[in-house]
Amino acid sequence: MSHQTEQNARATGLGGAVWALVITSVAGFMAALDNLVVTTALPSIRQDLGGSLPDLEWTVSAYTLTFAVLLMFGAALGDRFGRRRLFLVGITIFTGASAAAALAPGLDSLIAARAVQGVGAAIMMPLTLTLLTAAVPAAKRGMAYGIWGAVNGLAVASGPLIGGSLTEHISWQWIFWLNVPLGLVLLPLARLRLAESHGTGSPLDIAGTLLASGGLFGIVYGLVRGPADGWTGRLVLTGLFAGGALLVGFVLYSTRAKNPMLPMRLFRSRAFSGINAASMLMFLGMFGSIFLLSQYMQGVLGYSPTEAGLRMLPWTGMPMFVAPIAGILSDRIGGRPVVATGLFFQAAGLAYMASVVTVDASYAAQLPGLIISGIGMALFFAPAANLVMSSVRASEQGIASGANNALREVGGALGIAVMASIFSARGGYETGQAFVDGLRPALVTGAAVVALAGVAALLIPRRRVIRAVGPTEQAPTLETVAG
């Protein structure tokens, strides 16, 4: 028996599934946490390193942008060169960039380190779901996705709490130092406990990666700079129009390319299209809301970073309790009703928050909205992962995971940019009332977007047929899955 075969044998069975769940959940936690972990640290970072508010937004956007635009390419690298091998590469890059961010002497170097962090996360994150799927028996995947989703959901939503607590009690640098010991522990565990696997082995799609990356960068750049530079500014308009043109070019190219990074034929499936549309819209509404609400609790209500994070726990902590149950429910009744219910709960929670935010809102008034939003988020994450991975052939699960994670991150980057723009147009940071005046329409927009995500989820077939369609549309292989 070869050394590789021995390693793969150790990584199979119940023990292998448990180790895969632990390793991929921790890796996913690291990548998801860094989306919003800096939001409550922005005032401290500005005090130490300087910079305007739009410049500080790039400490968030630099990460989400590189994360988003390279996710599908990272998944393709794993499919071609080995998923475990590239998973290790992604962890290494992410851990090293985290240390660089902690040591950054200025804002420019911090933004650069955040961008490199995004590269590592883009390689690592889509492979977590693929490696987990390969290690867990099909009958148990709903529960496994539930735990994975709970950890990822907790990381996204608790970013402001963890960032605020570390910033207040130690220093903002520790929001990045936190990743280093986790990464150093994961590297040997992943090397020894995960089985190696490959995808289709198709050539890498360099042209598609450049088109998608350039297009998304242009649009997000325009949205981030619009409020500060003016929506008719030359660079803003150039970014928006050039970005839109490149994305159109990406779609047209991908319909004709022999081995595209994201095969457009996957979107012929209502299941694949529906869950990806729902995921992008969910993250758009949720990210922008958390970005503004964490600042509202500190800047308007006067809570410290830790106090603000603790008061958001009914929202941020709920996935740990509800998401595993949601995964089990998705195994029994299908993911579609669970995901749709969660999205409508999340929309209702944001709408409620928009109705009660004032310059002196009591915590008791906010609590129902936080609880409803937390339940909604928890019901979404696990079944959504199940729906994504069961909507394509096994050989295309790496592509599907990369696409779904990319669209989530695109939604997150757009959410911060769009809702910050709405906030700036209707309010500002001058007074507490000005902040509330901007926050309320932004939250209403977030609620509407998440409700639209719920409508997209309802378009997923109740029982869907997965067609393993080749590029030449030859006879399909049929597999019916409860949705």
pLDDT at 468: 41
Contact (Cβ atoms closer than 8 angstroms) between residue 56 and residue 101: no
Q: Average pLDDT for residues 63-70, to the nearest whole number?
A: 78
Helix (H, G, I), strand (E, B) or coil at 478: strand
SS3 per-residue string spanning 383-405:
HHHHHHHCCCCHHHHHHHHHHHH
In this prediction the pTM is 0.72
Q: Average pLDDT for residues 355-377, to the nearest whole number?
A: 88
What is the rounded distance in angstroms from the CA atom of residue 342 to the CA atom of residue 373? 9
Q: Is the dihedral of CA 52, 53, 59, 61 positive or negative?
A: negative
Structure confidence by residue, pLDDT tens digits, 383-416 = 777 777 666 666 666 677 767 777 777 787 778 7
What is the rounded distance in angstroms from the CA atom of residue 56 to the CA atom of residue 91? 25
What is the rounded distance in angstroms from the CA atom of residue 310 to the CA atom of residue 158? 9
Check: CATH 2.40.320.10 for 3-189+201-205+257-482? no
What is the rounded distance in angstroms from the CA atom of residue 381 to the CA atom of residue 345? 13
Structure confidence by residue, pLDDT tens digits, 311-349 = 877 877 776 677 677 767 766 777 778 888 889 999 999
- pLDDT confidence bin for 443, thresholds 50/70/90: very high
Q: Average pLDDT for residues 85-111, to the nearest whole number?
A: 89
pLDDT at 48: 79
The counts of H helices and E strands in the chain are: 19, 2
